[in-house]
Structure 1
Amino acid sequence: MAKGSAKKVRNFFVKYKRFFYDNRRIAELLGLDVSDVRYTIRDFLKRGELEVKDGMLVYVERERRDFLLDKVWRAWRYCPVWTISEIAALTHASRETVGSYVKLYRKAGYVEKVGRKKINGVICNLYRLKNRKIRERPQILNQRKLKGVKQ
């Protein structure tokens, strides 16, 4: 699949909301390959972003709560030991946001500090998850009280 085709198709349906279920016509309008559009629409249908109603593709706006926090959690699980800067770079989040998540999950007992590391002349704290086998991100009760963090 061509890079960015899903984003183009999603933006198309956000703009038009409803469109005929015709992959060839959508591909022509967007300037994409028909197979890329077909695979993208198939994925959107599986995920529930699109629905078929009366022969039309209808865009269903889905709620994307805690999307960034889920990305940070997956990055924590992927890396055995990490710094706040490394996770911020992996998830495209700000260091402040990742730092507030680390603080929150440290208080809850899921993240622990394991040492320090010198990177480019700056000493950074090293962290890790206490149990990397936890697949689903734990829901923390006071999670919404993070100041200045957009979910």
Structure 2
Amino acid sequence: MTWEAVAGWLHGPMDADAWSAVIPIMGYGALLKNLRNFDDASVPDEVAERVAARLADPARVAKSRLFPFNFYGAHKAVGSLRWGAALEKALQASLSNVPALPGRTLVVVDQSPSMFPGYPFSSKQQHTHITNADLAKLFGSAVALRAADATMVGYGNNVVSRRLPPR
């Protein structure tokens, strides 16, 4: 039985006991997408610690083939700091999923007004408060960190360009 089947069978929100029972059979992506649900149901700390350990495991991150913005989105979606350390470790590990670039690389990050609220990336973006500017900075930083010799600059309406430190 899948966790989705359990959720459908309950005909309502899953409580802490239901989540605790299905978490061991959930896939990596499902865990990442349901962190807020775990918090809303008040999943016990020991269960959350097991989830956090799975999320932070570099081998699982590599196998998931998820990119840094997936972990950033999860971080923005959760309402607690409970998952912060695990998501940071997972985001750092996910950099290995970004191709390495040899030689010199110029990364140009758009920070113009069209990259901010009012121009949503997707309908899901509105729920996580991630702007196009956030995604551009994150993607640019990931590329710059994976490049052998990178220069990252940002541009917008008032600034032609400025050097940005990839973080």
Q: Assess same fold via TM > 0.5.
A: no
TM-score, normalised on structure 2? 0.26
TM-score, normalised on structure 1? 0.28
Greater helix proportion: 2
Larger radius of gyration: 1
